[in-house]
Amino acid sequence: MTIKTTNLGFPRLGHKREWKKAIESYWNNKITKDELDNTLQQLHRSNLVLQQNHNLDSVPVGDFSLYDHILDTSLLFNIIPTRFQDRDVDDDLLFDIARGNKSHVASALVKWFNTNYHYIVPEWDNVTPRVNHNRLLERFNEAKALNVNAHPVIVGPITFVALSKGGDQSFEDKVRTLLPLYVEVLQSLIQAGAELIQIDEPILVTDQAAELEAITREAYEAFAEADVAKALVIQTYFERANVKFLSALPVKGLGLDFVHDHGYNLQQIENGDFDRSKTLFAGIIDGRNVWAADVEAKKALIEKLSQYSDDLYINPSSSLLHVPVSLEDETLEDDIRDGLSFATEKLETLDALKRAVNDNDTEAYDRLHAQYTRFQNQAFKNLEYDFESVRAERASAFSERKVVQQQRLNLPDLPTTTIGSFPQSPEVRKQRADWKNKRISDEAYRQFVQDEIKRWIEIQEDIGLDVLVHGEFERNDMVEFFGEKLDGFLVTKFGWVQSYGSRAVKPPIIYGDVKWTAPLTIDETVYAQSLTDKPVKGMLTGPVTILNWSFERVDIPRSTVQDQIALAINEEVLALEKAGIQVIQVDEPALREGLPLRKEYHEDYLAKAVHSFKLATSSVTDETQIHTHMCYSQFGQIIHAIHDLDADVISIETSRSHGDLIKDFEDIDYDLGIGLGVYDIHSPRIPTEDEITTAIERGLQQIDRSLFWVNPDCGLKTRKEDEVKAALTVLVNSARKLRQEAVETN
């Protein structure tokens, strides 16, 4: 049997973030809409040609977006928030829904399953679904004009509705409302020549899948009746699916993940659950991590799968959206480079496997096999760790710690603070780049950072914040910064991936044992504290987030790597405490993001996450106040684990969820300090005093006032200086107003 290769999606960012730079230039009025369109069209075309040149039998189109593919689907079907209706459906509307504007808040931003990508939540209130501008058809025709053999990609109706919120219709009725619209779009694609259409249904690998089977069957039978199911390939990824159920649906093919499925998908196929008359799209190359594949093992898997399918494609386990574009231009030692594979290199691996299996052409296969073997023989792990010697519980209960901390800090009612970072202005980024490229001296850069810290300490004092931060001007990213300073991490030059919208991060790569060897944050934090009598928070990233926002090694258990990082962070926590820092924040925004999709794995994951956080933070004295921070909502299912962290204060994003998180506190007696983010930092709009006051009062309905803090919902590095000053002034004024009302009432 001849196998074929395909891809599920390619990174939008561009090798050197051309996508991000163009979009942000448009937002900042530096380029016109025509210039934006031309730049993105060129990038899209180059992505198509690059994939075609890697000998793919079919190249995806529809994966390229101006912001987010779920938001694209919302606009395609006119699922537009009420506050943004009665406008032309164009790119400016898309950007306003995603980012908010001066008049309206943005739609909620939520993580995409258990990845580090975030999508814009569709809102069904008062919508009139219809097909708008069919950009997917345009993308497909664009690929045809380039002689690229392409297949359209669209999010399926079950997943789209499952990721939505609002509206009076039932889940099933929402799907039924969309079905004729999907049919219209799918028919247009088939008429244009599409022989395969990838319809993504990752919701069908979650625990929710079983209860969705009836409506899933109804939907795909409707597609069959409309004569469009013949081209459909249901793609699942990130976990195991019910192979027998999906194989019975009247579609052309089925895509399965054979990397992150815990072995269950292969087991089902070996049990005979796959209908071999259908096309099998086998996700055998890890689409979410950067390690080179064991081509020998992958070749054996292909040979095994060939026994159960008469028509077999091999592809990455998911869209390559989650990995950097290419190793090209990276200056890495060969012993490390041998073990790495970014998006482009993963396509090379697919081609090498296809050539080896189909034509017995093993030149590329043999080279990849040799590189993989060399990397595996490197001795990157040989350290010994004494995990048991570090305390994993605070010395006293929170009720006792709270008293001595208040005596030391003397904070007012409803204390105000920020999450940590302040604007990374063009000048800040330029100075850091000049320093890294040795265009300015270490002393000149250090002086610049100190000047920024001093300026922002003064700004915070003028605004009236109660607990200050140094601003993190020396940091490029909250994880990459620590990856540059801890042993066992590799930081790349162009290893960018999309987090949300134009937000790009460069995850470090954990290739060896992690070790703290020198202070990481002491100089800047101690300097900031020397400038003010108010407490300045030490700002660290926690072990769970560092692991979840890095490309982790896969040769030892994740929990072992996590605890290694925890010991390193513990060293820094103790160093800050010794230097006189009274408040230390250890952020864990990614704790929820790493939660496995299947509930059967939740308890183990959360227990290990809580243990690692406490390993990093519990060695301090009672007087030292430990803060943490989480963002991107959907915390209800882990609210008890959040409490178990035993942080003295936690700040949680709630503004984009429009207060939904407050309901989660009805099920728990939360008796630790907490700040529910009272305004959305992802939007350029300035909140009003009434909005912030309402948010605080809503939180006080469930949280004891003596535990309540007032803060933005996330760090402020992406905002402009004038926006930050204005918004924080409103925040402080709102807190002061409520304090005064409380005094007058009493």
Identify the DSSP state of 86. S
In terms of Cα–Cα distance, which of 539, 503, 684 is closest to 67? 503
Q: Is 593 annotated as a binding residue?
A: yes
Q: Both tokens of residue 42?
A: 């060129």
Q: Do the annotations mark residue 116 as ligand-binding?
A: yes
Cβ atoms of residues 2 and 313 within 8 Å: no
User: 3-class SS at 421?
Assistant: strand
Is position 141 annotated in a ligand binding site? no
CA distance 365 to 475: 40
- Give ∠ CA 129-135-138 in degrees, rounded to 5: 140
- Ramachandran class of 262: left when φ > 0, alpha when ψ lies in -120 to 50, beta otherwise: left
> Is 213 annotated for ligand binding?
no
Token pair in block for residue 362: 């093993």
| Residue labelled with tokens 């690229």 | 148
70 in a labelled binding site: no
What is the DSSP track for 515-534? E--S-SSHHHHHHHHHT-SS
> Is residue 124 part of an annotated ligand binding site?
no
Q: Is 682 a catalytic residue?
A: yes
Could you count the other beta carbons within 10 Å of the beta carbon of residue 40? 21
Per the annotation, does 275 bind a ligand?
A: no
Query: Token pair for residue 623?
Result: 């007087």
For residues 692 and 16, what is the distance between their CA atoms, to the nearest angstrom? 38
Q: Partners of 708 in the beta sheet?
A: 674
421 is in an annotated binding site: yes
To the question of whether residue 709 is assigned a binding role by annotation, the answer is: no
- Which tokens go with 16? 């050197």
Q: Is 172 annotated as a binding residue?
A: no
Is 419 annotated among the ligand-binding residues? yes
Q: Are 671 and 713 in contact (CB under 8 A)?
A: no
Catalytic residue among 69, 369, 470, 682: 682
How far apart are the C-alpha atoms of 380 and 344, rounded to whole Å? 26
Q: Any binding-site annotation on 54?
A: no
Cα–chain-centroid distance for residue 482?
18
The counts of H helices and E strands in the chain are 25, 20
| H or E stretch covering 407 | helix 398-409
Beta bridge partners, 283, equal 257, 315
* Burial (0-12, 13-18, 19+ Cβ within 10 Å), 360: exposed
Q: Where are the beta strands (DSSP E) in 516-672?
A: 537-541, 583-587, 625-630, 649-652
Q: Tell me: is residue 420 an annotated ligand-binding position.
A: yes
Greatest alpha-carbon pair distance for the chain in Å reads 85
In angstroms, the CA 581 to CA 595 distance is 32
User: Is 111 among the annotated ligand-binding positions?
Assistant: yes
Tell me 579's DSSP state: T
The binding site for Zn(2+) comprises 629, 631, 640, 644, 653, 714
The binding site for L-homocysteine comprises 419-421, 472, 587
Catalytic residues: 682
The binding site for L-methionine comprises 419-421, 472, 587
The binding site comprises 17-20, 111, 116, 419-421, 472, 549, 587, 593, 629, 631, 640, 644, 653, 714
